[in-house]
Amino acid sequence: MKIIAAIIGTGVGLKHLEAIHNYKNSLVKIICEKDKTKLKFLKKKFPQIKIVDNEDQIFSDKQINLVSIASYDNYHFSQIVKCIKNKKNIIVEKPMCLKILELKKINKLIKNEKIKIISNLPLRVNSFFLNLKKKIPKNKVYYMEADYIWGRPHKLLDWRSKIKDYSITLGAGIHMIDLVMWLLKSKPISVQSFGNNLGTKKIVFKKKSFALFIFEFPNNLIVKITANAASIYNHFHELKIFTNNETITHCFAGTHHFIKKKNKIIHNKINAEYPDKKNRKKLIQNFIDNLLNKNIKPIISFKEQLDLMNVCFAADKSIQTKKKIKINY
């Protein structure tokens, strides 16, 4: 099998191009971009790739068997549906969609077709987090904190301030929610969320730019997650994991391990492989491996992607209703 791919959107989509083009049996045949200035640049930079401004040129091309969706969040759902209807495998930027009804439709359509889909959640291939996953004694964790500190407030002022259903939970918090569920190999039972927009200019960005989620996991484990888009800070994924015997803290000031030995607390600094940008493309490349050889397991299953979206929708519902929400999977 040969992978003939297309990419929609060339912000982070250019990273998808790097991951796909010339990887194993793969090439990118078409790039779709609707920004006229970028179109000119793309035609010059990639003369061997067909550059178009109408996505239907991708869906009508019978050769294309993989579409990478890196458009604005509000286009993901309709582009996923077109992919499924035209039998094209899908890499989709997070979030997969913006409404629970859309998620239900995707689930129904994918179940009927032999299409594979992966959401781009690259923290799962980050060396530091992979290492951490092997080391943390999951059943001993009693509390965890995970903060998505975006550190790029200007990003809220672009398309993110214009689209109707933009959500900071689906746009930022989703990375930490997935990271926590994956590290703990567990799903939260309920969520209580809070949000504000005190850190942003309300006239331009009308939605919440900060959100705090308190998740209850099985066995009384509690996790606090924040999505902090207004932050004046460096882009960082901060983490604190507490067990009765050990603590790991990963923040901009450094990564540390604390352990209790003979009633003494021993403290070590860890040289974390973070942000580990070189490995980010591995998630997409593993998906291609899985398309080429079904014995290779995908890093994220379809069910995990659905569960993650359900958790995010429940977290947003809690912000709207100001109530604790039981999460349905």
Ligand X SMILES: NC(=O)c1ccc[n+]([C@@H]2O[C@H](COP(=O)([O-])OP(=O)(O)OC[C@H]3O[C@@H](n4cnc5c(N)ncnc54)[C@H](O)[C@@H]3O)[C@@H](O)[C@H]2O)c1
Instruction: Name which position in 93, 147, 304, 307 contacts ligand X (CB under 6 A).
Output: 93
User: From CA 72, how far away is CA 162, in angstroms rounded?
Assistant: 10
Q: Does 75 bind ligand X (CB under 6 A)?
A: yes
Q: Does 11 bind ligand X (CB under 6 A)?
A: yes
Task: Identify the DSSP state of 299.
Answer: S
Interior angle at CA 67, CA 64 and CA 69, nearest 5: 155
Minimum distance of ligand X from residue 104's CB (angstroms): 20
In the chain, how long is the greatest CA-to-CA distance?
68
By CB under 6 A, how many residues form the interface with ligand X? 23
Minimum distance of ligand X from residue 251's CB (angstroms): 19
Instruction: Name which position in 18, 56, 113, 158 contacts ligand X (CB under 6 A).
Output: 158
Q: Which is nearer to ligand X, 34 or 256 (CB)?
A: 34
Specify the stretch interacting with ligand X by CB under 6 A; choose among 26-34, 188-196, 205-213, 289-297.
26-34
Q: Does 73 bind ligand X (CB under 6 A)?
A: yes
Tokens 């929400």 appear where?
A: 325
* Residue 57 identity: Q
Q: Does 18 bind ligand X (CB under 6 A)?
A: no
User: From CA 63, how far away is CA 42, in angstroms rounded?
Assistant: 21
Instruction: Name which position in 70, 118, 248, 312 contacts ligand X (CB under 6 A).
Output: 70
Helices (H), 141-228: 159-162, 168, 174-184
Q: Does 305 bind ligand X (CB under 6 A)?
A: no
CB 164 within 8 A of CB 211: no
Q: Does 12 bind ligand X (CB under 6 A)?
A: yes
Contact positions with ligand X (CB under 6 A) in 120-139: 120, 122
* Residue 214 identity: I
* CA dihedral of 275, 280, 286, 287, whole degrees rounded to 10: 130
Tokens 């049996």 appear where?
A: 25
Q: How many helices (H) and strands (E) does the chain have?
A: 11, 15
Q: Does 207 bind ligand X (CB under 6 A)?
A: no
Secondary structure of residue 186 in the 3-state scheme: coil
Specify the stretch interacting with ligand X by CB under 6 A; choose among 10-18, 40-48, 83-91, 99-107.
10-18
Q: Does 55 bind ligand X (CB under 6 A)?
A: yes
The token duo for 155 is: 């990003």
Instruction: Name which position in 8, 118, 156, 312 contacts ligand X (CB under 6 A).
Output: 8
Minimum distance of ligand X from residue 44's CB (angstroms): 16
Task: Identify the DSSP state of 153.
Answer: G
Q: Which is nearer to ligand X, 166 or 215 (CB)?
A: 166
For binding to ligand X (CB under 6 A), which residues are involved? Answer: 8-12, 32-35, 38, 55, 70-73, 75, 93-94, 120, 122, 158-159, 171
